[in-house]
Amino acid sequence: MRLSPRTLAETRNAARPAYDRARVTPGIVHLGLGNFHRAHQAVYVDDCLGATPDWGIRGVSLRRPDMRDALAPQSGLYTLAIRDGEGTRARIIGAVLDVLVATEAGGGVLAALCDPAIRIVSLTVTEKGYCRDGAGDLAVEHPAVAADLATPESPGSVPGLLVEALRRRRAAGVAPFTVLSCDNLPDNGATLARIVAQFARQRDAGLADWIAAEVAFPGSMVDRIVPATGDGDLAEIAALTGVEDAWPVVTEPFCQWVIEDRFPAGRPDLASAGVEFVDDVALYEKMKLRMLNGAHSTLAYLGHLRHHETVADVMQDAELAALVAEVMREAAGTLPLPAADLAGYAKRLQARFRNPALHHRTAQIAMDGSQKLPQRLLAPIAEAQAAGRPWAAMGRGVAGWIAYLLARDGTVEDPLAGQLRAAAAAGPETILSLRAVFGDLADARWFTDAILAEVARLRD
């Protein structure tokens, strides 16, 4: 029996939407409908739909149709399984109304984005979706950006889609939506605003000025560990709930969302669902990116080299668990926050990493290293060095990435895969000279000498 509105009443051991789903209408388009969105933002929105049913979500898959194909027969319903050492709690989420596929002709994504009922466009498109160059500006030679600048009315890239949708809304006299980045980037709102502005300026200066004046891009910090769904999860969740879900999502109990409160077109009452609204999210973002994600990347590369399959496995390796704690300590040293608070935060992060019920693969975190290292490890290393503070553990994370690239001959999942393959063939010095990843650190001997020594040690 497949999960659907018809079978919903027959699900067992799972909380069901507490609102009348027939009354829900779309208010949000979400770009990048992956597991993370489904276990995070969609859950907060689900909590709001009883009071305000006009904030349902239309999901967009930017590349593949597989999520749409899984969720369409279920009318968007899916199971969220929250797991820790104590067991599994299941909940059926109804906030996603349908899924559109951006690559399909007539896929309806632009029409959805232009619907006046849509007041928020949120994004989880991963670091590479922002099409940034090494300096954080729009990469105009990026193939997807170049293609969209050539044919801007049928866009496929994130900046291309947002700018064309905003242009059409402006032309039709429809107020713009708020653009809410939910990716793990520093200053994610400001970064997206800059990239959209730069893309718009390439098309039409008047449009760029209008976007700068009228469109809000609040920043946000998002946090929940959400592994890829495994085959075993499908069977286990079906056994628990009594209905089959083609793509359930498994996650941890912890969940956090901090957002800058700039929503001129309105927003659901997310505070009632536990969202923290602040004036400036930058420090929260930095803390999470450096302490959680920096430690995550470090344990992913070094753990993978030691053949540990999951994060929980790495945390059983005393040497690596100690390194993870040290990365967090060093990262904390770069943050202007009370040391005791950061020590408590680090303790809670390590407990989350030890969650034995999450099968969070080191290989999943290892992906897209060229996009992740700068904000997770390289920026805090540069700041630590300038302040005369230690950074050796974070340096081991960087060396781990290089050793990982060398061990795989540069054959990795990464938008810079071609460059990484060529650099790996030439050796670690060449990898360290990639300015697109290392920026000015590529020229800093204090940095490159230490990392090269660590890479040699790791390879031994």
In the complex with ligand CS2, the residue whose CB is nearer, 199 or 247, is 247
> Given candidates 296, 304, 308, 329, which one binds ligand CS2 under the rule CB under 6 A?
296
- Contact status: 290 vs ligand CS2 (CB under 6 A): no
208-227 footprint of ligand CS2 as x/- string (CB under 6 A)? ---------------xxx--
In the complex with ligand CS2, the residue whose CB is nearer, 240 or 292, is 292
> Given candidates 124, 184, 188, 334, which one binds ligand CS2 under the rule CB under 6 A?
184
> Given candidates 75, 364, 385, 448, which one binds ligand CS2 under the rule CB under 6 A?
364
Contact call for residues 377 and 334 (beta carbons, < 8 A): no
In the complex with ligand CS2, the residue whose CB is nearer, 14 or 358, is 358
- Contact status: 441 vs ligand CS2 (CB under 6 A): no
Angle at 8 between CA 7 and CA 10, to 5 degrees: 70
The Cα–Cα gap between 48 and 26 comes to 13
- Contact status: 127 vs ligand CS2 (CB under 6 A): no
Judged by CB under 6 A, how many residues of this single chain contact ligand CS2?
Answer: 10
In the complex with ligand CS2, the residue whose CB is nearer, 293 or 375, is 293
Task: Provide the sign of the torsion angle of the four alpha carbons 328, 330, 332, 335, taken in this order.
Answer: negative
Q: Which amino acid is at 54?
A: D
Q: Which of 221, 365, 391 is nearest to 298 (CA)?
A: 365
Which residue shows structure tokens 């109304």?
97
- Contact status: 41 vs ligand CS2 (CB under 6 A): no
Q: What is the DSSP string of 259-323?
A: EE---TT----GGGGTPEEES--HHHHHHIIIIIIHHHHHHHHHHHHTT--BHHHHHTSHHHHHH
In the complex with ligand CS2, the residue whose CB is nearer, 117 or 312, is 312
**Smallest gap, in angstroms, from Cβ of residue 327 to ligand CS2?**
12
The Cα–Cα gap between 145 and 137 comes to 12
Binding segment for ligand CS2 (CB under 6 A), chosen from 291-299, 381-389, 414-422, 451-459, is 291-299
**Smallest gap, in angstroms, from Cβ of residue 109 to ligand CS2?**
25
In the complex with ligand CS2, the residue whose CB is nearer, 147 or 282, is 282
In the complex with ligand CS2, the residue whose CB is nearer, 79 or 126, is 126
- Contact status: 245 vs ligand CS2 (CB under 6 A): no
Starting at the edge strand found earlier in the chain, the sheet holding 26-31 runs 96-101, 56-61, 26-31, 120-123, 178-181
- Contact status: 30 vs ligand CS2 (CB under 6 A): no
**Smallest gap, in angstroms, from Cβ of residue 1 to ligand CS2?**
32
In the complex with ligand CS2, the residue whose CB is nearer, 241 or 371, is 371
H or E element in which residue 399 lies: helix 392-407
Residue whose CB is nearest to ligand CS2 in the complex, by number: 296
Strand partners, 29: 58, 121
- Contact status: 252 vs ligand CS2 (CB under 6 A): no
Backbone angles phi, psi at 312, to 5 degrees: -65, -35
**Smallest gap, in angstroms, from Cβ of residue 331 to ligand CS2?**
13
In the complex with ligand CS2, the residue whose CB is nearer, 101 or 225, is 225
Cα dihedral 81, 82, 85, 86, rounded to 10, equals -90
128-157 footprint of ligand CS2 as x/- string (CB under 6 A)? ------------------------------
* Structure tokens given for 310: 């999951």
Q: Residue 87: count other Cβ atoms within 10 Å of its Cβ.
A: 9
**Smallest gap, in angstroms, from Cβ of residue 214 to ligand CS2?**
31
- Contact status: 293 vs ligand CS2 (CB under 6 A): yes
**Smallest gap, in angstroms, from Cβ of residue 69 to ligand CS2?**
24
Q: Given the DSSP bridges, would you call strands 256-260 and 220-223 parallel, antiparallel or unpaired?
A: antiparallel
**Smallest gap, in angstroms, from Cβ of residue 366 to ligand CS2?**
8
Q: Residue 147: count other Cβ atoms within 10 Å of its Cβ.
A: 15
In the complex with ligand CS2, the residue whose CB is nearer, 45 or 377, is 377
The Cα–Cα gap between 145 and 61 comes to 18
**Smallest gap, in angstroms, from Cβ of residue 254 to ligand CS2?**
9
The Cα–Cα gap between 94 and 47 comes to 10
Binding segment for ligand CS2 (CB under 6 A), chosen from 103-111, 149-157, 229-237, 289-297, is 289-297
Burial code of 309-339, b = ≥16 C-beta within 10 A, e = fewer? ebbbbbbebeebbebbbbbbbbbbbbbeeee
CA-atom Rg of the chain in angstroms:
22
- Contact status: 365 vs ligand CS2 (CB under 6 A): yes
Contacting residues toward ligand CS2, per CB under 6 A: 184, 223-225, 292-293, 296, 364-365, 372
